[in-house]
């Protein structure tokens, strides 16, 4: 497998954003919206148990994690979209850069996502 990444001196144009929702329906709605807008190439959903501090107390809830794969250059646009569309008062939005990625996968991701720098608005 051919990897594009730091070993060859380049930085792959791919990152992963993480967020969570209360229900699978909310997660699917966000995933579909991101895909239809061309902001993501792939969104994976998984059930997780979240423990966190809220209003000064430890809370525990089942959630659905969205792992959003997109262009690194689209991270800010994805985050802004999530801030507008997410049902949570304070949504988790975490961006993880890719150290390396399969060349064919990166080619596919670039092909199916929009380039935010070419947006005339």
Q: Please report, for the chain, the start and end positions of each structural domain, with discontinuous segments joined by +.
A: 3-106
% the chain with pLDDT above 90: 77
Name the pLDDT band for 30 (thresholds 50, 70, 90): very high
Q: How many CB atoms lie within 10 A of CB 11?
A: 13
The highest-level CATH class for domain 3-106 is alpha beta
**Helical (H) or strand (E) element with 108:** helix 103-112
Q: What are the Cα distances from residue 29, in Å, to 11, 12, 43?
A: 31, 28, 11
Distance CA 17, CA 73 (A): 12
| The two three-digit tokens of residue 74, written as one number | 């689209």
The arithmetic mean of pLDDT across residues 97-119, rounded, is 86
* Predicted pLDDT of residue 7: 59
Which tens digit of pLDDT belongs to each residue from 36-95? 999 999 999 999 999 999 999 999 999 999 999 999 999 999 999 999 999 999 999 999
**Which residue bears the tokens 């399969």?**
102
pTM equals 0.88
C-alpha radius of gyration, the chain, whole number: 16
């Amino acid at each position: 497998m051919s990897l594009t990444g730091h070993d060859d001196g380049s930085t792959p144009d791919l990152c992963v954003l993480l967020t969570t929702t209360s229900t699978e329906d909310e997660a699917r709605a966000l995933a579909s919206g991101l895909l239809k807008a061309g902001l993501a190439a792939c969104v994976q959903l998984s059930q997780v148990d979240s423990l966190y501090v809220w209003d000064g107390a430890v809370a525990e809830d089942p959630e659905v994690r969205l792992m959003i794969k997109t262009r690194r250059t689209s991270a800010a646009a994805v985050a802004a979209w999530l801030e507008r569309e997410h049902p949570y008062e304070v949504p988790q939005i975490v961006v993880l850069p890719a150290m390396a990625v399969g060349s064919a996968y990166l080619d596919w991701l670039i092909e199916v996502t929009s380039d935010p720098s070419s947006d005339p608005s």
